[in-house]
Amino acid sequence: MKLCVFVLLCLCACLPGSTVVNAATVGDDISDSRFTLSDEFTWLRNRDAKGIETARIRSEQYLITAGYAIGDRITLFGKAGMANLELHRFEGETHFFSERLAYGAGMNYRIINSRLNTVEITCQHFAFEPGSGKLTGASEMREHQTPHEVEIDWTEQQASLKISRKLRQFTVYGGPKYSHVKCNQERTWASGKTEKETFKSEKDFGLFAGIITDISPGFSGYFEVRFIDETAYTLGFGYHF
């Protein structure tokens, strides 16, 4: 069902005149530039996920995004960088996974494209596989339950609708978003036994809001918050040419 919703939003993003869906992170420049380059740092402070039991996910992500505009409405983009992950089980066990390569790609379509107001829809895919985890908490205190190795991967599909308004050197924006997260975890115990578990986001629909400021011609900075389905903050800078 969730995959069907995401596919439907992506198809709507390809149809001129559609009014469905821009993804988090959304911060981008309103300009006529062909190329855009930006860097961003994200603090994901809380995202609840359901596996065998409920867990809380945290992550820090540093990404560089490059975009190329096709005409005045469609932008294709890719992103790459580093991301880590913390998985906090409510029973008291915590896994800390070190930084590894993170990457993503997507498409942005502008429904309304004026100098003062824009309405945009975006779909994107984001993924990373952090390093083997360090375990603390409840399981660490019981030697027979301490795994020999823990691995995890993160995949996220996003789709959102962004409405923005330019106010002199500032642009404010916001809107709804769909964001489904899946984490596959694999534990290898000291005995050699392998145990697999999948965590999925408890909430898939949320809101985002942000502000972009023009620092100099072609250069800007932005700050964004995302809430309801997650609690996350992003600070970034962009350059268009």
Per DSSP, the residues of the chain read: -HHHHHHHHHHHHTSTT-----PSS-----S--SEEEEEEEEEEEEEEEESSSEEEEEEEEEEEEEEEEETTTEEEEEEEEEEEEEEEETTS-EEEEEEEEEEEEEEEEEEEE-SSEEEEEEEEEEEE-PPPEEEESTGGGSGGG-EEEEEEEEEEEEEEEEEEEEETTEEEEEEEEEEEEEEEEEEEETTS-EEEEEEEES--EEEEEEEEEEEETTEEEEEEEEESS-EEEEEEEEEE-
pTM over 0.85: no
Q: Is the pLDDT of residue 141 over 80?
A: no
Structural domains in the chain, CATH included, are: 2-240 (2.40.160.20)
What are the tens digits of pLDDT across the range 84-111? Answer: 999 888 777 788 898 999 999 999 999 9
